[in-house]
Structure 1
Amino acid sequence: MGNSESEKSQAQTQRGYALAILKYLLENTSPNQGVTALRLAQDFASGDLEWNPPEISERTAREYLHYLKSLGNRLPFGVRVRQFADLEEEIPVPPGGRRTDWFATAIISPAQMRVLADALQMSRFYPDDVADLRSLLASLASVKPEHLESGQILFPDRPMFSGVPATLLELDSAVSGGYKIRFSYSHVALRPEAEGRQAPGKYWSPNQRSRRGKKQRSESSSLRDQAVLKESGKKYEFYPYTTVFKRGDYYLLAGEDPHPNENTRIFHFVIDRISDIKILEGTADSVDSEDFDFVRYVNERPYFFSGQAVDVIYRVTGGLDGTFSWFPDAQVVPDGDSDCYLVHVRAQPNAMVWWALQYAGSVEVLSPPELREEITKTLEETLRKYQKKNK
């Protein structure tokens, strides 16, 4: 029994050494900066680190460094411990370093981490939730959370409800398992007592718990109380195909056909408004959407409308920024003047109407004629409304 307890204690100590060294390497080294076994042992004994690592000798540090290196890519999250001597000859050793110095590479670089962290913040999650996620990304990228504070990403006025991450997890389970789902869907509506007052710029629901400061809560409570997400009372049952993040919202793409094709009517739901989701296990047909190109489908819709996409040609003046921001697969040729272009895209007609109106000052749709006619009718109706107001 004594030997067993002693062996267990020794194993725990060894794991503690390995984890402490790995933590140190992730926080203090990179392919641009290494460390010797001696320096690692000295830092452990210095008391200058923000955490309390065990004291170890240079020899012990070197033994565990070689052990961590021997694990290759079997360490969690794809972390690898290496020496500069392991790199290709054409990669120079950092200034002041030696080929025997040790370093760890994380699964994600600080630059990649920054992109992901900013994307999280722009996706309307609660500020506190985003802070936790940013700290996690920072640890994966071997940098301190403060490294992310230099950017100025403003929090939107309408953060996602607290149930969105759980809804996304449930949807992922249904999509990967090929199950049909049932859910409720809500729409923004004024509370009865708020009718006749100015509609607020943000909405609220009873299950939303604000995590902001007291001052912010008192300033915004009167606005929040004027609006609510109101369920339609109808339960939807669909096969979920995929989820997509597009211009500030998460969407569920779903349909009645478990095998979507070009003729399938696809429905679009803002995940922020989905509630009471239930996976209907044991459905007759499992979902098979691998043959459908959802990337192309999303790119053909600047706004989500169901229906077939068509070939569209339009003339744009003043530059192509708006074109490639919305249509990454656009084909473009110059059209006379240096700032005039002919653009060919595939787009859903109803979505294209609203996109063309958005850029009416610089875009003229040339074909198909049916789309051009629909834009003309919409502009005429809009003109009549404004002319009526001016009389």
Structure 2
Amino acid sequence: MAGRKTRSTNEILVDILNELAEHTDSEHGLTVKELSNRVGATEKTVHAHLQLLEAQRPMGRTVRRLTATDMRQADSADARPGWCMEPAIDVAELRLFGDGLALSRIDEEYARESYDRLRVLAGFAGAHSQGLRNIRVPKPYNREFLSNVENLDEAISGRHVVSFRMCDYAVDGSLTLRIDSESGKPREYRADPYQMTYRNGMYYLLCHMHGKNGVAFAHVDRIRDLRIVEGVRQECPLEELHAPDGSPFSLADYLAERLYPWTGQAEDILMHVSSLSCIYDWFERPSVSRVDARTYEVAVHADPQTVLWWALQYSDNVDIDIVQPQSLRDAMAAVGRRLVERYGSGSGEDDI
């Protein structure tokens, strides 16, 4: 009778690592006996490997034995003693990464596969996660989206120039290449990419468009035929940009000053509001003081056009009075007049 094949030390070690990584965390362990049964090795062999892993911290993650003190301090109702590996990410991080995948407008199958890979990094909690729910592939789905993100990341890291075409929407919601009005051919853009960022549920590339001034937003979901342009220097490297006051340009400040992806000049804006929820939900560093029992004075530095759009969405249930600048007050008044002309009394066909 042929004997059972002897497993190598490396095979046993890898199996132990996999069991610890996928089925333990700082409150849920596996005993030596349980690991022995799972990996098909003697308890003596398993214990020796665990001591080795404890000393070496594989992949920078702590391997240790949970003690009685750990069990008393555990928050989980089903905490159990034994050996564990510290998860690479915790439950909160897993949830946030998962929500990011759900918002990213990518293929449903790929999103779920990516989340399953993340669950492994969360150990025991990841294995018991319910996974992603309520995901659907967006109708104007761009199959080049993921490769765009990968290539843009490479271009940003290497400070390369990129070339691409932009799409617009057809009547049925499909993506169609934007056509140059003069040549009649798909229009090609070149840009110096700086950063990718989410804004209002969409993914944008913050960049400098060649032949234009300043910084622009490009909707990554609508980019096609993207490639890195070799041998061409950036027209406007990020380190050469400056803020209006001459100070070094800050992408973080630039984004904070724009509530929507818009590239106007930020200004000092003073307003009176009746609620602070709409302020702190949107503005990063507002200066707020109380005027009376129902009014707050708020000062922000922001793009006026984006503040106008922001104010309009709250106009039916929050009192927002733009005090300064006068140009923004005038713009608000102009929008109000257009709304009255369209929807005011006497504007409908059925009005008597």
1:66 corresponds in structure 2 to 51
Mapped contact 1:125–1:160 kept (Cα < 8 A): yes
- 1:268 maps to 2:217: yes
**Range moving further from structure 2, 150-159 or 285-294:** 150-159
For residue 338 of structure 2, the aligned residue among 367, 381, 389 is 381
2:176 corresponds in structure 1 to 229
- Equivalences for residues 286-301 of structure 1 within 5 A: 288-289=237-238, 291-301=248-258
- Equivalences for residues 244-259 of structure 1 within 5 A: 244-256=197-209
Q: For 2:141 and 2:300, locate their aligned partners in 1 and report how far apart those are by CA, in whole Å.
A: 33
Q: Per-residue CA shift, 1:153-186, capped at 9, x if unaligned?
A: 5547546422211100111111111111111001
- 1:36 maps to 2:31: yes
- Equivalences for residues 1-391 of structure 1 within 5 A: 13-41=8-36, 43-44=37-38, 53=39, 55-72=40-57, 75-76=58-59, 78-84=60-66, 92-95=69-72, 101-143=82-124, 147-149=128-130, 153=134, 155=136, 157-158=138-139, 160-190=141-171, 203-204=173-174, 228-232=175-179, 233-256=186-209, 265-285=214-234, 288-289=237-238, 291-317=248-274, 319-338=275-294, 340-361=295-316, 362=318, 363-387=320-344, 389-390=347-348
Q: For 1:34 and 1:154, locate their aligned partners in 2 and report how far apart those are by CA, in whole Å.
A: 33
Mapped contact 1:79–1:105 kept (Cα < 8 A): yes
Q: For 1:287 and 1:33, locate their aligned partners in 2 and report how far apart those are by CA, in whole Å.
A: 53
Q: For 1:173 and 1:32, locate their aligned partners in 2 and report how far apart those are by CA, in whole Å.
A: 39
Is there any run of 5+ residues in structure 2 with no aligned partner, and where?
A: 73-78, 180-185, 240-247
The change in CA–CA distance for 1:256 and 1:272 in structure 2 (over 3 A counts) is closer
**Range moving further from structure 2, 137-146 or 301-310:** 137-146
Q: For 2:97 and 2:315, locate their aligned partners in 1 and report how far apart those are by CA, in whole Å.
A: 34
1:25 CA displacement: 1.2
Is there any run of 5+ residues in structure 1 with no aligned partner, and where?
A: 1-8, 45-52, 86-90, 191-199, 205-227
The change in CA–CA distance for 1:146 and 1:126 in structure 2 (over 3 A counts) is farther
1:299 CA displacement: 1.7
4+ long deviations beyond 6 Å: none
Mapped contact 1:175–1:287 kept (Cα < 8 A): no
SS for the counterpart of 1:305 is coil
Mapped contact 1:110–1:143 kept (Cα < 8 A): no
1:15 CA displacement: 1.5
Identity %: 25
1:364 CA displacement: 1.8
What is the TM-score with the length of structure 2 in the denominator? 0.82
1:287 CA displacement: 6.3
Q: For 2:112 and 2:137, locate their aligned partners in 1 and report how far apart those are by CA, in whole Å.
A: 15
1:370 CA displacement: 1.1
Q: For 2:333 and 2:285, locate their aligned partners in 1 and report how far apart those are by CA, in whole Å.
A: 26
Mapped contact 2:91–2:126 kept (Cα < 8 A): no
Q: For 2:131 and 2:231, locate their aligned partners in 1 and report how far apart those are by CA, in whole Å.
A: 50
SS for the counterpart of 1:148 is coil
Q: Residue type of the partner of 1:355?
A: W
1:151 CA displacement: 7.2
Mapped contact 1:356–1:365 kept (Cα < 8 A): no
Q: Residue type of the partner of 2:216?
A: F
SS for the counterpart of 2:106 is coil
Q: Per-residue CA shift, 1:308-338, capped at 9, x if unaligned?
A: 2011112221x32222222122222222124
Q: For 2:157 and 2:52, locate their aligned partners in 1 and report how far apart those are by CA, in whole Å.
A: 37
SS for the counterpart of 1:268 is strand
The change in CA–CA distance for 1:352 and 1:389 in structure 2 (over 3 A counts) is same
Q: For 1:257 and 1:229, locate their aligned partners in 2 and report how far apart those are by CA, in whole Å.
A: 23
What is the TM-score with the length of structure 1 in the denominator? 0.74
SS for the counterpart of 1:186 is strand
Equivalenced residues, count: 322
